[in-house]
Amino acid sequence: MFKINENYQKLPGSYLFSTIAKKVAAFTQANPDKDIIRLGIGDVTQPLAPAVIEAMHKAVDEMGSAETFHGYAPDLGYEFLRNAIVEHDYTSRGCDIAPDEIFVSDGAKSDSANIQEIFGADNKIAVCDPVYPVYVDSNVMSGRTGVYNAETETWSDVIYMPCTMENGFVPEFPKETPDMIYLCLPNNPTGTTITKAKLQEWVDYANRVGAVIIYDGAYEAYISEEDVAHSIYECEGAKTCAIELKSFSKNAGFTGVRLGYTVVPKELKCQDVSLHGMWARRHGTKFNGAPYIVQRAGEATYSKEGRAQLQEQVAYYMKNAAVIKTGLKDAGYTVFGGVNAPYIWLKTPDNMTSWEFFDYLLERANVVGTPGSGFGPSGEGYFRLTAFGSSENTLAAIERVKKL
């Protein structure tokens, strides 16, 4: 008889957003006349930028002719895209990253889940709490997290770094030394971030204790403050301790297009084994490349027109963030985030649990958000709203919340 990967059986409940979808579906069925505004899942709503559409149309035409047709993409991704990434995301910020250290992928979710595969099963992971659920769940699937305690909602072999109001949502070095440290900055779900100086401390710490940092920069485009790093490689010594994950989903609205990349510097080694070589092997064996049309679309995000259009798109969402933040503050809520990230993280009122506040908001204002507890035990008592709605819906949602 075949055997299953028993680790999957350890996963508690369903993915957070499936639970939310079920609750919303039940509410809609019972109240078909209610107009629900969704500020829950972090999905974009604005159309692709004209420069991106133009590049995609052109690439589609190329695919229609034998002379310009493209089949499988090169393992690491097309050079035209990797060169553009290096020039605009790294060289322009003083980071010395080479095009062959970039691995183009179909997005940061898969990369953030897959990257753990090149590390030993007995590595101890450290995660911020609350956290983007994929980091922990992917490690559960590979048997790295120990036993689940349903009461505390924690895993015995995971080091949690609480990020709460009390520490300004800045993770502190854990008492126990981790082998792998997941950092997502600016952060999903709290919408907060740390200064470049603080990030440098993490890089120094990782180099000192021999840990690797998996740095998720999916929300980098939303950084507005000067003293915040756009890449971990802006920090000295990061190339010997950090892997960076990037996504086109939030900076360019590619959630339905699918494109991302991972940077594995050649200097990153475990004793004399190159992680770059290992990831190249993994990528080449298990991934057959992001589509040519999509990589051309990605290239267009770096053109002069593309960059200007995307800056406008980011500004559009950040205006929503300001509307949510100011509106909630006016209504007496304690709110965080929304300055360097498209997420607003609020303290639930009257000691409501995160799920109680979810139900309250859904039933009384017909607004959908995300319960903070879904991101980890320290998220209990908090709630996330996203700035990715249309401006009309965002304004309407906040007016409803203000009237509660």
Cis peptide bond N-terminal to 130, omega within 30: yes
Instruction: Return residues touching ligand PLP (CB under 6 A).
Output: 42, 107-109, 112, 132, 184, 188, 216, 218, 247, 249, 255, 260
Nearest residue by C-beta to ligand PLP?
A: 107
- What is d(CA 348, CA 390) in angstroms, rounded to the nearest whole number? 24
The token duo for 69 is 């047709």
Minimum Å distance from CB 364 to ligand PLP? 27
The sign of the torsion formed by the CA atoms of 190, 159, 165, 192 equals negative
Burial label, 354 (beta-carbon count in 10 A; 0-12, 13-18, 19+): buried
Smaller CB separation from ligand PLP, 365 or 387:
387
Strands 242-247 and 260-263: antiparallel
Minimum Å distance from CB 114 to ligand PLP? 11
**What is the distance, to the nearest Å, from the Cα of residue 106 to the centroid of all Cα atoms in its chain?**
14
- What is d(CA 299, CA 76) in angstroms, rounded to the nearest whole number? 15
E strands, 241-287, are 242-247, 260-263, 269-270, 273-274
- What is d(CA 28, CA 35) in angstroms, rounded to the nearest whole number? 9
Smaller CB separation from ligand PLP, 107 or 306:
107
The token duo for 191 is 């919408």
Smaller CB separation from ligand PLP, 109 or 144:
109
Smaller CB separation from ligand PLP, 218 or 365:
218
Smaller CB separation from ligand PLP, 40 or 327:
40
Minimum Å distance from CB 248 to ligand PLP? 7
Minimum Å distance from CB 110 to ligand PLP? 6
The token duo for 353 is 């649990």
- What is d(CA 309, CA 365) in angstroms, rounded to the nearest whole number? 33
CB 73 within 8 Å of CB 290: yes
Minimum Å distance from CB 210 to ligand PLP? 25
Smaller CB separation from ligand PLP, 111 or 380:
111
Smaller CB separation from ligand PLP, 179 or 244:
244
Minimum Å distance from CB 261 to ligand PLP? 9
Containing 316, the helix (H) or strand (E) segment is helix 304-330
Minimum Å distance from CB 77 to ligand PLP? 14
